[in-house]
Structure 1
């Protein structure tokens, strides 16, 4: 297991955010809108993206918020709204009456899952989970083959070897 050489500061969370039954997150338009939304929201509500992977129908990421700031919900609300506003016309969908009444967008599931990172070991496990996810789902044989993740950044900084997440040492890895 790699050693991450970083101290946990602020409040750090692991998130899973899911589309509304559509494999669209790796589409160019969605990726561009998501990148722009994150940049825009980060100006008003700062956070650091520690690790991230885009899968076709969900994403996993780890954010660190500033000290004494735990309002990740406002950040996700604004990011999802921006992506929906920018790309909703590209992915039309008839919403159920209850989803319409709640103001749901056609791209995203309404909620998301979060977990507060407790310590360095918890951080390592969740970062590994993020980067191994494309292999786990059969989308890549090696973590390095999946272009929609922060894996390359972790290789460049020496945290992972380039063949991590697909080499025999990773077989049988257990993730929560």
Structure 2
């Protein structure tokens, strides 16, 4: 069993999704996303416990400073900063009224991490997600993941998750 370090403060799991699920915008513009993400992180500190950027969505676990649970404004700054200056399709009237470009889904999924077991499950979910979506057959082959930091720190072995080519059968959710 892996030993994950419990983050301090309030810890949350997030799924943030693009409005157009058929696009690869996040990986196509990952440098832009990284730059905005780091800028927001410097202005409104939080620790990224785990993250994985996929073509049309991302998963992250954040640990916020004690007595600070304002993840909403941080995501607003990230999403707005990423969208600013980018071309989008034709947004709906309701999106225009709210000054939205239509790049992101309005809402996102958040879950408060309850304990060590919950944290471990969500970190594993994040790291295995590129395999789940058929983007790679091994976790280590997806570069846009904190998995590689976990390997460098000795928390996870490089072959964690195995190789899906070695496993037969169909697995649903």
TM-score by length of 1: 0.88
- Does structure 2 retain, via aligned residues, the 8 Å contact 1:135–1:166? no
Partner of 1:24: 25
Any idea what the Cα deviations from partners look like across 1:80-110, whole Å, max 9, x if unmatched? 1110114x13xx3111112212222232111
Partner of 2:59: 60
2:91 maps to 1:77 = no
Question: 129, 144, 148: which one pairs with 1:148?
Answer: 144
- Does structure 2 retain, via aligned residues, the 8 Å contact 1:13–1:63? yes
Partner of 2:95: 99
Q: Secondary structure at the match of 1:17?
A: strand
Gaps of 5+ in 1: none
User: What displacement does 1:149 show?
Assistant: 0.5
Partner of 1:157: 153
Alignment length, in residue pairs?
168
Q: Could you list the structure 1 runs, at least 4 aligned residues long, displaced by more than 2 angstroms after superposition.
A: none
Specify whether residues 8 and 150 from structure 1 end up closer, same or farther in structure 2 by C-alpha distance, changes over 3 A only: closer
2:134 maps to 1:135 = no
RMSD value over aligned CA atoms? 2.1
- Does structure 2 retain, via aligned residues, the 8 Å contact 1:9–1:64? yes
Q: Within 2, Cα distance between the matches of 1:122 and 1:15?
A: 13
- Does structure 1 retain, via aligned residues, the 8 Å contact 2:7–2:49? no
Any idea what the Cα deviations from partners look like across 1:119-162, whole Å, max 9, x if unmatched? 11100000000000011111111000011111111111111111
Between 70-79 and 154-163, report the one with greater CA deviation.
154-163
Q: Within 1, Cα distance between the matches of 2:50 and 2:6?
A: 15
Gaps of 5+ in 2: none
Q: Within 1, Cα distance between the matches of 2:101 and 2:109?
A: 17
Q: Within 1, Cα distance between the matches of 2:7 and 2:117?
A: 11
